[in-house]
Structure 1
Amino acid sequence: MAVEPLLGTRAQRAFVLTIAVQAIVVIVMVGLTFNRVRQEVVFTNQYKTLPCYLSLFILAEIFELAMAFDALRLRNVIELLGIIFFHAALIVFSALQVHESRVALVTTNCPPGTAAWVCSGGPGSLWRKVEPFLIVAPCIIGASWLFLIFWIKQLYEEFGWVIFHVVGANPKLKSMYQYYQILICLLKFDFFCFVGVTMQLLIVVLSDNTAEFGITIAAIPVVLFLLSGCAFAVQREIKWLMGVSLALMLAAMTYLYKLVRFYEPSSQAEYSSTRATLTTFTIVAFLLLLASFCVGVRCFLDFDKGLHESKVNGQSYRPVKIHKDVFKLGGMSERQSSYFTGGAPLGPRISIE
């Protein structure tokens, strides 16, 4: 019989279902907000917060769902914990959007041809009509976060011994492998933060005839090369490529200068409706990149120390067909039997009394 296939346990199915249901509800709420505003205003720079908000939430929910399947496929406890932190960040982001949507909709500088009630914040205004939808989003995400913590606790018990299976009982190898998993997880979240910041700048702020727009576009392939190159280098232990990736990470950290642009008098008006979100994304992206660099250096120092095969082959999971009586000699549980390297079972153990 097949043992623990992907989504083969209640905890796995409930974990994915929780993320999927909250994603659908939140996207519907944001979509209703977007549609209601679109009926009343033209999406000029002042109102571009809403389409950007919708785009970011769709991206975030798809990313989180993909990460959930990836974590379950790899039986990766560290990635599951990363999803918990990411989900908490979504609560903060959705709460910030309530504030930023109000800044965009409630204004004294009402665009020409727009009814006064659209720009006011009183009863019957456009803001009052969309406010409930915006408030529902962080509430739903917060409630689902509690459910995810419960399911991840069960998944931890289900997957917790996988690192032992991949690298054995050697504490040093176990530590090195955990740092490798942390780096791969950080690189995935680096990708989301980079895409999130870039999307906000391109949709909301930058004009396509400015140098800053061109620089932002040019940075996209560089960052993608950085992230994919670093992941490939650390897995295959390619020293020159890892060195280039770490150097590019240091260079990319200078992106923190954008914070000055958000607040300096000459440009702060451009970022008025997205300043809080952009600031949060930029700081989080910087901290993630700094953490990736530090962990990357640690992983680089662990090259050629016997972990190469585990990194290349250890994360491939394939459920296998077994029979219960195979494990009577080894004293192995049926759950443990699903984690064979390349499908090869461990031999029976001999105990000396």
Structure 2
Amino acid sequence: MALLDAMSTKAQRAFFGTGACGAIVVIVMVAITFSKVEDNFDLTDARYKTIPCYLALFVLAELFEIFMAYDALRLRNVIQLVGILLFHVALLVMAALQVHETRGALVSNPGKNWTQDYLHGDGSGTVWSRVFPFLVVSPVVIGLTWLVMIWFVRQLYYEFGWAIFHIVGANPAAKTMYQYYQVMICLLKFDFFAFIGVTMQLLIVVLATSTAEFGLTIAAIPIVLVLLIGAGLAVQREIKWLMTVSLILMLAAESYCEFFALYKLVRFFEPSSRYLYDTVRSTITTFTIIAFLLLFATFAIGLRCFADFDKGLLKSKLHEPSFQRRYSSSTHGTAGAKKEEGYGAGTPLGQRVSIE
């Protein structure tokens, strides 16, 4: 029933359906690529670890995006919808990088066809020529769904126009504070994905199970998850001591991530070890930089939200808009909707009345 309530208009169903269909196609393409490579290569070899990493990363990313789309529609959160569009761009970049990195992993004898070198050539009939079309489909589908989703986000922008007004009223200062709060919550969600994504890549591709780095990375998982959950509760319920602890831990995590990222970037490019990361260097470097920037942005927005504590926004945070039947014109008559809310909720609004 909650899912039906979150898909009460055509634009909402179309946005979610576009993302879900695109995710299914991408996961299928990635799985086919993985299967074809696995049939011909030993994926435990460091050279070919980019393939299982590619599969795991995109399955995680697409499932995460579907959840975020549902969550944004449920909460009528336009800021999170925009975040999904930016996330989609990041996926497009990662998919394009994977074409390059997979070729680097599979092709060591360029110019040879299947009769000369079936496994390592890049000519007709080789393994690379068989997986290349499936690799290309992913960025193409991601790009097309991104364009379609932009169109529907524009419609949802007007459709959700009264959500913040319904919660915080017409006060511009309250509206600004609430929007910063929404940005903070959205960043925490994307921080979760970025952390899991970086950790997964390091565990699959880079770190040996016998090293101290592997143990530290595993130990960091519950700590970071508690940090993100604690920061979310603190900013929502305006718990000052918890927010202070969260910001301090966030700053410490940022310092550690900066040190770790710089250390790894040196390892990626220094002559003595760069050969170990030839097929994953671009992906991990890009992902690590994005994760660091996300954490930095979260800390900065967290400080801004902390400054807004005790300014009358707590009640609004604890009664955020959600997709309940009272918001949908499809479950109430026009008269009933006006009686309960004063507006025809769930109907698109013209630009002149949008407050987002």
Q: Which SS does the other structure have where 2:82 is aligned?
A: helix
The answer to whether the 8 A contact 1:259-1:282 is kept is: no
Q: Which residue of 1 aligns with 2:287?
A: 281
Contact 2:338/2:344 (8 A) holds in 1: no
The equivalences for 1:226-305 within 5 A come to 226-254=227-255, 255-256=257-258, 257=262, 258-305=264-311
2:334 corresponds in structure 1 to 324
Give the CA deviation at 1:315: 3.5
Once residues 261 and 228 of structure 1 are traced to their aligned partners in structure 2, the CA distance between those partners, rounded to angstroms, is 32
Deviation of residue 65 (structure 1)? 0.2
Cα distance change of structure 1 residues 27 and 323 upon mapping to structure 2, 3 Å threshold? closer
Q: Residue deviations 1:22-72, cap 9 Å, x none?
A: 111111111111111111111111111111101111000000000000000
Aligned counterparts of 1:66 and 1:271: Cα–Cα separation in 2: 32
**Quick one: structure 1 residues 11 and 329, their matched pair in 2 at CA, closer, same or farther if it must change by over 3 Å?**
closer
Are residues 336 and 143 of structure 1, via their aligned partners in 2, closer, same or farther at CA, if it must alter by over 3 Å? closer
Q: Choose 263-272 or 33-42, whichever is displaced more.
A: 263-272
SS of alignment partner, residue 186 of structure 2: helix
User: How far apart in 2 are the matches of 1:152 and 1:322?
Assistant: 24
Give the C-alpha shift of residue 331 in structure 1.
10
Q: Cα deviations across residues 61-88 of structure 1 (Å, max 9, x unaligned)?
A: 0000000000000010000000000011
Return the letter of the residue paired with 1:303: F
DSSP-derived class of the 1:119 partner: coil
Q: Provide closer, same or farther for how the CA distance between residues 236 and 36 of structure 1 changes in structure 2, counting only shifts above 3 A.
A: same
TM-score normalised according to structure 1 size: 0.88
Query: Kindly tell me: are residues 264 and 222 of structure 1, through their superposed partners in 2, closer, same or farther at Cα, counting changes over 3 Å?
Result: farther
Matched, 1:6 2:12: no
TM-superposed CA distance for 1:317, in Å, is 4.0
CA deviations over 1:259-288 (Å, ceiling 9, x no partner): 223223333222221110101111101111
Report the Cα distance in structure 2 between the residues aligned to 1:298 and 1:174, rounded to whole angstroms.
14
Counterpart AA for 2:280: T
Q: 1:54 to 1:328 in 2, by over 3 A?
A: closer
**1:18 aligned residue:** 18
**Deviates further, 79-88 or 247-256:** 247-256
Secondary structure in 2 matching 1:5: helix
Q: For 1:303-323, what per-residue CA distance to the aligned partner results, in whole angstroms no more than 9, with x for missing partners?
A: 111111111122344222654
Q: 1:20-169, aligned counterparts within 5 Å?
A: 20-43=20-43, 44-107=45-108, 116-169=117-170
**Counterpart AA for 1:67:** M
Percentage of pairs with the same residue: 58
Residue 93 to residue 334, structure 1, CA distance change in 2 (3 Å): same
Contact preservation (8 Å) 2:75, 2:320 = no
- For 1:291, what is the secondary structure of its paired residue? helix
Counterpart of 1:219 in structure 2 is 220
Mapped partners of 2:209, 2:171: distance in 1: 55
Query: Tell me, which stretches of 5 or more residues in structure 2 are unaligned?
Result: 110-115, 348-356
Contact 1:33/1:130 (8 A) holds in 2: yes
Report whether the alignment pairs 1:335 with 2:335.
no
Q: Which amino acid aligns with 1:57?
A: F
Give the 3 Å change call, closer, same or farther, for CA 136–14 of structure 1 in structure 2. Answer: same
Give, in whole Å, the separation in 1 of the partners of 2:219 and 2:100.
32
Q: Is the 8 A contact 2:268 2:281 kept in 1?
A: yes
Secondary structure of residue in 2 paired with 1:118: coil
In structure 1, the residue matched to 2:113 is none
Residues 335 and 67 of structure 1: is their aligned pair in 2 closer, same or farther, counting only changes over 3 Å? same
Alpha-carbon distance in structure 2 between the residues aligned to 1:183 and 1:23 = 26
State yes or no: 1:309 paired with 2:315: yes
2:188 is aligned with 1:182? no
8 Å CA contact 1:71–1:77 kept in 2: the answer is yes
Return closer, same or farther for 1:104/1:300 CA change in 2, 3 Å cut-off: same
Return the alpha-carbon distance in structure 2 between the equivalents of residues 9 and 55 of structure 1.
33
CA deviation after TM superposition for structure 1 residue 301, in Å: 0.6
Cα distance in 2, alignment partners of residues 226 and 99 from structure 1:
35
Structure 1 gaps of 5+ residues are: 109-114, 338-353
Write the distance in 1 (CA, Å) between the matches of 2:298 and 2:90. Answer: 18
- Work out whether residues 242 and 300 of structure 1, in 8 Å CA contact, stay in contact via their aligned partners in 2: yes
Do 1:180 and 1:299's aligned partners in 2 also have CA atoms closer than 8 Å? yes
Pair 325,122 (structure 1): closer, same or farther in 2 beyond 3 Å? closer
Distance in 2, Cα, partners of 1:261 & 1:300: 38
Question: By how many angstroms is 1:291 displaced?
Answer: 0.6
> What is the number of residues matched between the two proteins?
329
Partner of residue 209, structure 2:
208
How far apart, in 2, do the equivalents of 1:34 and 1:327 lie? Answer: 51
TM-score normalised by the chain length of structure 2: 0.88
Query: 1:347 maps to what in 2?
Result: none
